[in-house]
Structure 1
Amino acid sequence: MGRVLLGLGAFLLVAGILGVAWAPGAVKKTPVEVDQKTDLTGSAERLNTSTGETRELEVRYTSITKSDTEASDDDTVYFKQATCLVEVDGETPDCVSDADDRLISAGEETFATDRETALAVDGSKLPDDVEPFEGLVNKWPFDAEEKDYEVYDNVIDEPVTARFDRAEEIDGLDVNVYVTETERAPIDLGSDIDGLYSDRKEYSVDPRTGAIIKQVVDQQRYLADGTLVLDLQMQYTDEEVADNVADAEDNIASVDLLTRTVPLVGFIGGALCVLAGLALILTGRRTKAAHTA
């Protein structure tokens, strides 16, 4: 029995060591199998170019992000992302054709991020069909800190500073809130029309996993002369936020199991088993020696 306890103790101690030395690096990585749909809803004022007047409307923004699992590896994950912003008018699908007046904007992008840092991969290391982004793209890193980060803005095609603003709680989950602000940046409004872009976003991020739990957008687009083309306010739907909180809690539990519970059980249980095994072996030897004498 003593040798059995020694063997069990050794196994638990090895499990504890792996939980400390190996598990964090293996677990705290962006998965290579991602299929995520994100919905934001809100309202907007949109310029009618034929009349020169703006009108209020309901809008929905949909983002579908899928990983390219075959192209991804231990260090890098490749993503394909389709986004669509539409005017909601009756039964409106997630996206509509270019000929549909309800379409405000749509796009498709292919990018790659580092699985540990969540930063976009340097363009020099990418194949020709992958766009070279900079900064964070679709999540924060694991164990996100209360500091500023650079986040890629796909409207102006460059990173902007996401400054840490505050810590708060969403449905019982602790989050860090980061804010980006862009003021009158030059953009192409489409069809080679020069325009300006102002934007303020709030990202509520689960610091443990780096997942974006909630996003709030306040955005304006103008013609070069300052005429307002689009005034947009939207945020994640309540259902989206609730699902993100639930997913984050599940992922936190999985990370804690491997990086905290397993090491704790391994070191404490392993030490107790080793001590008990040694005690049994020594007691057995003394008993045997006593009988021999």
Structure 2
Amino acid sequence: MRRVIGCVFVLVGAFALVAAGVAGFWGRDAAATVPLNVNTTTVLEGTASGALAKSDDPVKVKYTRTTEAAPKDSTDDVVVFVEAGCIMIQEGDTPDCARAEVDPRVVTTTERAYAMDRKTSEVVEDQAKYVGEDKAVPNMTGLAGKFPFNTERHDYEYWDDTLGKTVIATYVDDVDVEGVKTYQFEVSASAEDESLSPGDDGVKDTEDDVRGSYEATQTIYVEPTTGSYIDQSATQKMVTSTGLELIDAEMSYTDETVANNAEDAKANISKLDLIGTWIPVGGVVAGLLLLLIGLWLVLRGRKPNGGAHASSDDRTLVDA
């Protein structure tokens, strides 16, 4: 019986070691994948002035952005995100968003859809294949919604919607935010003669576009294990070629948004550590322990050298 139990322990121990190896070499990489159930709301607050803000002096504004994955349009390798953003002047009981034609407190509204590689977090080449021709952003490349898993301390190409091209997100420093280690990146974009918005035809990059100068900066604090944003601040200034200031805005994540981002990042790091570190380590320890116990039981269950037949032969020789 000891030998049977010992063999079972050996088999289970060997299986645990194999499982630990698989988890160690494959599990963490498999877990480091953008999920298909993302549905988040990000809030920034600050000030804005200019024609779009209906004021020459800075007024309080709030920018609410929702980001939701579209599982039906996504695949095992690519996730499709649909984003909607809205900047509202804060006067009285202001909603998160409204239609510009019915609420004068609306500064700007934006919508976009894009497809991202679930591993690298880079937007994929054939956007139209996933979001449709009418929503696809031409020549979209680089990073758009998050940084990659295991973000490194170097510069990245970062997509700018207004310019319609990538700019450089420059690594600056390691910074602790709400108890979370982050990498600080600085993004700067500018142009002197840029299409700031479509004209009456509603199509950008045509003759009746509103053109002018554009300046924007972003400071992004990225949690490197997950590539998620923890904190962010941004500025944007647009002036038409006729000298009209469209907007001069400065905003940053609210304290609540930063706290929620930090909490989510800590939870996701724990999940990745569990799959990529603790399960493999625990599997190795448990596997070795079971193997040792199993081998001990197998060896203890073996009969002494010669066994019962040897004893009988000895007695026969003595009797003779």
Instruction: Give me the whole-angstrom Cα distance separating, in 2, the residues matched to 1:177 and 1:49.
Output: 30
User: 1:108: which partner in 2?
Assistant: 111
Instruction: Give me the whole-angstrom Cα distance separating, in 1, the residues matched to 2:277 and 2:306.
Output: 43
> How high is the TM-score relative to the length of structure 1?
0.92
Is the counterpart of residue 184 in structure 1 residue 191 in structure 2? yes
Is the counterpart of residue 144 in structure 1 residue 151 in structure 2? yes
**Which is worse superposed, 19-28 or 77-86?**
19-28
Instruction: Give me the whole-angstrom Cα distance separating, in 2, the residues matched to 1:202 and 1:250.
Output: 24
2:8 to 4, 8, 12: 4
SS at match of 1:265: helix
Question: 1:43-64: per-residue Cα shift (whole Å, max 9, x none)?
Answer: 12223799xx712200111111
Is the counterpart of residue 28 in structure 1 residue 35 in structure 2? no
Q: Given the superposition, is the C-alpha separation of residues 81 and 220 from structure 1 closer, same or farther in structure 2, using an over 3 Å criterion?
A: same
Q: Given the superposition, is the C-alpha separation of residues 129 and 23 from structure 1 closer, same or farther in structure 2, using an over 3 Å criterion?
A: farther
Instruction: Give me the whole-angstrom Cα distance separating, in 1, the residues matched to 2:39 and 2:306.
Output: 67
1:1-293 alignment runs, 5 A limit: 1-47=5-51, 54-99=56-101, 100-123=103-126, 126=129, 127-132=132-137, 133-185=140-192, 186-189=194-197, 191=199, 192-287=209-304, 293=310
Instruction: Give me the whole-angstrom Cα distance separating, in 2, the residues matched to 1:10 and 1:256.
Output: 23
Q: Given the superposition, is the C-alpha separation of residues 57 and 68 from structure 1 closer, same or farther in structure 2, using an over 3 Å criterion?
A: same
Q: Given the superposition, is the C-alpha separation of residues 8 and 106 from structure 1 closer, same or farther in structure 2, using an over 3 Å criterion?
A: same
Q: Given the superposition, is the C-alpha separation of residues 245 and 48 from structure 1 closer, same or farther in structure 2, using an over 3 Å criterion?
A: closer
Instruction: Give me the whole-angstrom Cα distance separating, in 1, the residues matched to 2:63 and 2:53.
Output: 22
Question: 1:197-220: per-residue Cα shift (whole Å, max 9, x none)?
Answer: 101101100000011111100221
Q: Given the superposition, is the C-alpha separation of residues 258 and 288 from structure 1 closer, same or farther in structure 2, using an over 3 Å criterion?
A: farther
Q: Given the superposition, is the C-alpha separation of residues 290 and 49 from structure 1 closer, same or farther in structure 2, using an over 3 Å criterion?
A: closer
**Which is worse superposed, 260-269 or 203-212?**
260-269
Q: Which runs of 5+ in 1 are unaligned?
A: none
Q: Which runs of 5+ in 2 are unaligned?
A: 200-208, 311-320
SS at match of 1:29: coil
Instruction: Give me the whole-angstrom Cα distance separating, in 1, the residues matched to 2:224 and 2:270.
Output: 14
SS at match of 1:112: strand
Deviation for aligned residue 1:272 = 2.3
SS at match of 1:22: helix
SS at match of 1:70: helix
**Which is worse superposed, 179-188 or 10-19?**
179-188
Q: Given the superposition, is the C-alpha separation of residues 26 and 91 from structure 1 closer, same or farther in structure 2, using an over 3 Å criterion?
A: same
CA contact (8 A) 2:114 2:127 kept: no
Q: Given the superposition, is the C-alpha separation of residues 288 and 266 from structure 1 closer, same or farther in structure 2, using an over 3 Å criterion?
A: farther
Paired letter, 1:175: T
Question: 1:76-121: per-residue Cα shift (whole Å, max 9, x none)?
Answer: 0011111111211111111121212211111211110000000001
CA contact (8 A) 2:88 2:107 kept: yes
CA contact (8 A) 1:48 1:55 kept: no
**Which is worse superposed, 187-196 or 249-258?**
187-196
Answer with 1 or 2: which has the greater Rg. 2
CA contact (8 A) 2:115 2:127 kept: no
Deviation for aligned residue 1:287 = 5.0
Paired letter, 2:23: G
Question: 1:27-52: per-residue Cα shift (whole Å, max 9, x none)?
Answer: 001001111111111112223799xx
Identity among equivalent positions (%) equals 32
Q: Given the superposition, is the C-alpha separation of residues 20 and 168 from structure 1 closer, same or farther in structure 2, using an over 3 Å criterion?
A: same
Paired letter, 1:266: G
Q: Which runs of 4+ in 1 moved over 6 A?
A: none
CA contact (8 A) 1:84 1:95 kept: yes
SS at match of 2:302: helix
